[in-house]
Structure 1
């Protein structure tokens, strides 16, 4: 089912079996909307006739409308979860991965935070965990939604500060120390260099990159200059830039950390990219057999496959220098 035509052929019968339920759930959703509007209007008329206070009129109308809307959309929301889980499960299996919709213990999230790869947050949620193995290296990819609390004189609200994917890869090459790759901070580079960088009591020094293209795009810090250059081969840096187009996202950054791996010389690579919300079932107001629904998810699974192979495919001969050299 890696081929889109095959995916459409295999998934269409299953989706056709759910189409009658979708139509019924959509009808109930519209019914809830109509009843909510009518109920709220009736409440307003009753309050007006009884000369009840405006706040009572307003709050009661909103509660009635939202309550009936929730009743109306309940079946549609349940179906959306069923379709999403079913499609993701089937695609994950076809691409040689495992899928879990709920993420209760996000893998290495503390490490992502400690390395300053994601911003601080007051509210966070995680979903859509994919895991597997490529070229002998295991990986995990999941989505994160991070929000910070804001306060004004009259209210408290939340704003999204990050929505994207977090990727953990058990890197198959030797990793020693810490090598941090962040986006170029432009005019703030000097301040960044002055304020940073230490990790676990170790000083991270600025690492210069040979290629000016990468030098403009990234800021690199490491505990070991030789090791950093061993890891950040030209081919790897090209792949890192390529990830942004593969992910259809922005601000890709990463860290190599020997302390996260298991066994001598085996560290982990953590990658972050701002991609928005992916791996969803699509609109329930369109027929489930709409080919664009399958095509969108197929493209996103191909994206995961591309990411992992892009990072982990064996380097071409001469692509790296031994750290002992």
Structure 2
């Protein structure tokens, strides 16, 4: 199987694909088919159990005859969902293990960890005000490397807050705090003061946000900048206003707007509302809300022969990281 290079970041990968990825495809296809068969078998067992239990419930004749089958169907649906997702994720891990090392070695100065074992400095992002407090964390697909002599790490994150109600039922409620990509990118010069680039929620919303802010981000003084478009969408906070303005000239704010507008998979105001950023010491932190999955490859029902488009998507996602770093350097994206 051949790989056709489509974008600049892929240039030269075709022989690597032929030598390192293609020889694994038959083995991977056999594994996929085995996992798919296992999924079908387990889903069949769930369906059979639902049918038997529903029939027994109807035969017993207690209560409304349709209540038990419907309730059991809901339980069966949940069980089937977890069975399928578990095996699909196992398959995605196998495919990533075959593809990602070749991609990382080809690009150089890049490592990949599907399980995100090295985590991410979430406490710093919370303290700076990029993301709110949370007590449920799901991290995966972590990249760490260097591009243009700039160190970076990026991880896909799903952060949630679970709260327990105080009523008689003592119900729990879970809300999504953030879903998307979190970046930490080294800066050529340390920031002279902590800086937060927060969403603008209007005068009242900003005041409420500052009052209830977690960490020190929005509690820092608001900094006025001579950039009307930036002020329309974002609020700048810093301990030292003059130092922050010197550190973030108008051209840099233009690039931040371009990142929010063009690197999100959302459109219009949703894109602008999906970004927060900040500086602390020698690091730039970026939270970019996204709906699409990051570095996701293959589905359990998709033959391995169709893997080339999945590899193109991997390069596309890695190019996103490089485009952001290009813009932080003040240049037009090169990939």
* TM class by smaller structure: 0.7 to 0.9
1:240 to 2:256 alignment:
yes
1:24 to 2:34 alignment:
yes
Match of 1:284 in 2: 300
* Distance in 2 of aligned mates of 1:110 and 1:157: 23
* Distance in 2 of aligned mates of 1:284 and 1:194: 46
1:40 to 2:50 alignment:
yes
- Aligned-partner SS, 2:162: strand
- Aligned-partner SS, 1:280: coil
Q: Deviations over 1:49-100 (max 9, x none)?
A: 4668989988877777876886777655422221134333333333331111
1:136 to 2:149 alignment:
yes
Backbone CA RMSD of aligned residues = 3.6
- Aligned-partner SS, 1:18: helix
- How many residue pairs get aligned? The number is 307
* Distance in 2 of aligned mates of 1:68 and 1:195: 44
* Distance in 2 of aligned mates of 1:233 and 1:51: 75
Deviation at 1:118, TM superposition (A): 0.6
Q: Could you tell me whether the CA contact under 8 Å between 2:129 and 2:218 is conserved in 1?
A: no
* Distance in 2 of aligned mates of 1:124 and 1:91: 27
Point out where structure 1 has 5 or more consecutive residues left out of the alignment: 259-266, 316-325
Q: Could you tell me whether the CA contact under 8 Å between 1:198 and 1:204 is conserved in 2?
A: no
Q: Could you tell me whether the CA contact under 8 Å between 2:95 and 2:298 is conserved in 1?
A: no
| Structure 2 length-normalised TM | 0.76
Q: Deviations over 1:158-215 (max 9, x none)?
A: 2322111111122112421212111222243662586388976997322222221112
Instruction: Trace 1:42-121 onto structure 2 (pairs within 5 A).
Output: 42-49=52-59, 76-96=88-108, 97-104=110-117, 106-121=119-134
Match of 2:237 in 1: 221
1:257 to 2:267 alignment:
no
User: Which of 7, 10, 14 pairs up with 1:3?
Assistant: 10
Q: Deviations over 1:225-275 (max 9, x none)?
A: 2321222122221221222312425322211112xxxxxxxx221111111
Q: Could you tell me whether the CA contact under 8 Å between 2:182 and 2:286 is conserved in 1?
A: yes
Match of 2:284 in 1: 269
Q: Could you tell me whether the CA contact under 8 Å between 2:129 and 2:214 is conserved in 1?
A: no
Task: Looking at secondary structure, tell me which structure has more strand per residue.
Answer: 1
* Distance in 2 of aligned mates of 1:160 and 1:312: 32
Match of 2:312 in 1: 295
* Distance in 2 of aligned mates of 1:92 and 1:275: 23
